[in-house]
Structure 1
Amino acid sequence: MNVSRTRAVTVTASLAAVLLVAGCSGSGSGNSGESTTQAAPMAQGDLQGDYQKVIKDVLPSVVQIDASNSLGSGVVYDGKGHIVTNAHVVGKEKTFKVTTATGEQALGAKLVAAYPEQDLAVIKLDKVPDGLKAAKFADSTKAEVGQIVLAMGSPLGLSSSVTQGIISATGRTVSEPRTEGAPGATIANMVQTSAAINPGNSGGALVTLDSEVIGIPTLAATDPQMGDSAAPGIGFAIPSAMVKTVADQIIKDGRVTDSGRAALGITGRTVLGDDYKPAGVAVVDAQKGGGAAKAGLEDGDIITGLGGSEITTITSLSEVLAGEKPGDKTKVTYVRGGSEKTVDVTLGEI
């Protein structure tokens, strides 16, 4: 598979897929199977009851966000009216209309801050309605493959919709493309799910059977070989641990003060080799005081490797850095004047 969009992205690990940001709806569904045993009716009834309890517990905490040019979803973060969503849902807007699961009249809200590097944002209701219910967030570091989850949001503008699936993988690193108004976030440790994620689901809730939000649905896959139609069963959610880290800082300080994201301290661009294929990242600007500049890298150097991984594009560089931490020391391979060199670089922070 390749990737297309609302925004296209790529995935590391053994996937080669084209992914679609599920979030903003301008105005498939997953497959399920069942097996029958003698005990199935009772088991099915128990599971149905679990689903209904989770929906009753969590759906009131999931809202629809109207950002004038798009629709997305959000999750009530606390009793003060803070709502967490995706940065691509809010876009460049500063004010929003928020509709709760009860379908009452839309409420006004304003942007607190967005953090596009992690595709997260926090908005705040102008007036907190009676009975506003904050969601509970799970410990996403304990997410397990096979765990049953429900995705709640407003796909295609259909508010309060629910789909079901499992956690199908953890630890995925996903990169969104750079587009106008979007820097192209690279997000590590994404939760992969088979629950159907469609445009409008972005910013909503991926929920466990314990009625806890384990992730914020953000991306869904498409298959270009089938006309960019949805690739059922491949969606991605930002893990709740990262959601809480970013949201807590935005609410406290109005911005992210400690990203925990490693950086080389350069502005770069992908360059092509003699075969017209991506061949590395040219250093356009080695920022003064940054890790690269301190290690001796200069404007015009072409980075071809980092920490033992081959670097061919700015996306591949971002994906490798997503697995590093600020303060880590790593080897950077680069080409200067036709000669290959290697240097140790202490990584900074985004």
Structure 2
Amino acid sequence: MKKSPSWLATAVLVIVGMCVSSVFTIGAAAGLGLMLWGAPGEGSGSNPHSSNPAENVGHGGDVVEDSWVDTARVISPSTVSIRVDTGKGGSEGTGIVYDDKGTIVTNAHVVAGAILIDVTTADGRTFDATLIGTDESTDIALVRLVKPPKDLTPATFADSSKLTVGQDVMAVGTPLGLANTATTGIVSALNRPVVTRPERSENQDPSTASYTSAIQTDASVNPGNSGGPLVNRAGEVIGINSSIASNASTSAGAGSIGLGFAIPSNTVRLIAEQLAHSGKAQHAFLGVRIKDGEAGTGSATIKGAHVVEVTPGSSASKAGMVNGDLVTKVDDVQIGSSSALTAYVRSLEVGSTHAFTVYRGGKEQTVKVTLQGN
């Protein structure tokens, strides 16, 4: 999707360079972002490591209700610290063991400009790693250990579409260089549109923007948590921590204020599988130029993504979408802005079909769109 020049209106400062570094810069973004946290038992399948946290036994044999001990025990072996050498400085972030071949998933901004990559496991062993592929538009990257050990513990990824607001979550990472740090919170909101655009630097392309239909959490996340897991009570990954919102005007004063954002696990898996296969990722493409808009619905006003132009032959064109349509919902997800539409479409699979709710001529209509690839 193309966006009209007026789309970027900064609402909060979103810290995209969430790695401890002397060279990474802070990016500003429009909209809000989310960090994902899950609830007990929620997920895409069974987890051989999971157990009932309510059955943890404390001192004196008492049952410890709502203990996070088992959660940390499950996810910690699957969490790694990543150290990057760019030739002009260093940075440190977090990653997640994706498979037993030594594949690690992290944020693209964590490994941006990397010449050398070191990965340290939870038990303190450090391995050389190489870059497999990056997708800056979703801020996801894969690296692989050069000589992976045989005892790696891949994380279990849950189904992020089953998350609900208020669920408990835990984040694990390397904030400010402090490896194996765990913090807890809840899912504060879902499908927050996060748009991050790094400032000009020697390591990052300033024209690259990433879009995330993210999960918001109040769990404490700080620079260095980038690329680390956000998990549910069972220790299943429901998202990758990627950014935080701050009311500080500069990176020097940036830190957790309880507004963290994560890339949902379903998006992570969609992109990671493609990167593992070919080193590149393909994205769903609607084929419209959009801007923020609104329409009157009786005595109320509804906001959405206003279609300025439909590209001939595109997914939108084939579905019958026209100039002037106001997109307010995709499936059951509310679309309140152009950024929200771009972020959500980018999280969908090429070839999938979705119901787009649009206002046209003062009336609500549903348009079925089968998304093509870019």
TM-score for both structures, normalised by structure 1: 0.69
Contact 2:129 2:143 in 1 (8 A): yes
Shift, 1:18, TM fit:
2.5
Contact 1:173 1:187 in 2 (8 A): yes
Match of 1:23 among 18, 26, 46: 18
Match of 1:108 among 118, 123, 128: 128
Aligned to 1:127: 147
Q: Does 1:174 pair with 2:162?
A: no
Shift, 1:207, TM fit:
1.3
Aligned to 1:53: 70
Q: Deviations over 1:137-163 (max 9, x none)?
A: 111111122211111010111111111
1:166 partner amino acid: I
Q: Does 1:322 pair with 2:347?
A: no
Shift, 1:254, TM fit:
2.5
Contact 1:187 1:322 in 2 (8 A): yes
Shift, 1:256, TM fit:
1.5
Shift, 1:22, TM fit:
5.6
Aligned to 1:137: 157
Distance 2:149 2:182 in 1: 24
Q: Does 1:156 pair with 2:170?
A: no
Q: How is 1:324-343 mapped onto 2 (pairs within 5 angstroms)? A: 324=345
Distance 2:144 2:152 in 1: 12
Do the aligned partners of residues 45 and 218 (structure 1) sit closer, same or farther apart at CA in structure 2, a change above 3 Å counting?
A: farther
Q: Deviations over 1:105-146 (max 9, x none)?
A: x21000110011111011110011131111111111111222
Report the secondary structure of 1:307's partner residue.
strand
Unmatched tracts of structure 2, length 5 or more: 1-7, 23-58, 293-305, 330-336, 361-366
Aligned to 1:237: 262
2:108 partner amino acid: A
User: Size of the alignment, in residue pairs?
Assistant: 288
Report the secondary structure of 1:90's partner residue.
coil
Aligned to 2:100: 79
Shift, 1:291, TM fit:
6.8
Unmatched tracts of structure 1, length 5 or more: 1-8, 28-40, 271-279, 296-302, 310-315, 334-343
Do the aligned partners of residues 85 and 231 (structure 1) sit closer, same or farther apart at CA in structure 2, a change above 3 Å counting?
A: closer
Q: Deviations over 1:250-283 (max 9, x none)?
A: 11232224x2x334377x999xxxxxxxxx9999
Distance 2:189 2:278 in 1: 33
1:243 partner amino acid: V
Shift, 1:164, TM fit:
1.0
Say which structure, 1 or 2, has more relative contact order (CA 8 Å, 6+ apart).
Answer: 2
Distance 2:74 2:159 in 1: 18
Do the aligned partners of residues 108 and 118 (structure 1) sit closer, same or farther apart at CA in structure 2, a change above 3 Å counting?
A: same
Shift, 1:307, TM fit:
3.3
Shift, 1:172, TM fit:
1.1
Distance 1:70 1:282 in 2: 41
Do the aligned partners of residues 53 and 185 (structure 1) sit closer, same or farther apart at CA in structure 2, a change above 3 Å counting?
A: same
Aligned to 2:287: 264
Aligned to 1:64: 81
Shift, 1:321, TM fit:
2.6
Aligned to 1:276: none
Do the aligned partners of residues 233 and 330 (structure 1) sit closer, same or farther apart at CA in structure 2, a change above 3 Å counting?
A: closer
Distance 2:115 2:359 in 1: 40
Aligned to 1:223: 247
Aligned to 1:254: 279
Do the aligned partners of residues 137 and 10 (structure 1) sit closer, same or farther apart at CA in structure 2, a change above 3 Å counting?
A: farther
Distance 2:127 2:225 in 1: 19
TM-score for both structures, normalised by structure 2: 0.65
Contact 1:118 1:186 in 2 (8 A): yes
1:141 partner amino acid: S
Q: Deviations over 1:165-207 (max 9, x none)?
A: 111111111111253325111111x111111110010000111
Match of 1:211 among 225, 235, 238: 235
Q: Deviations over 1:31-85 (max 9, x none)?
A: xxxxxxxxxx99x96246x311111111011011111131110000010100000
Distance 2:199 2:315 in 1: 27
What RMSD in Å do the two structures reach over aligned CA positions? 3.9
Q: Does 1:191 pair with 2:209?
A: no
Distance 2:71 2:328 in 1: 45
Any runs of at least 4 consecutive aligned residues in structure 1 with deviations exceeding 6 A, and if so which? 280-283, 286-289, 291-295, 325-333
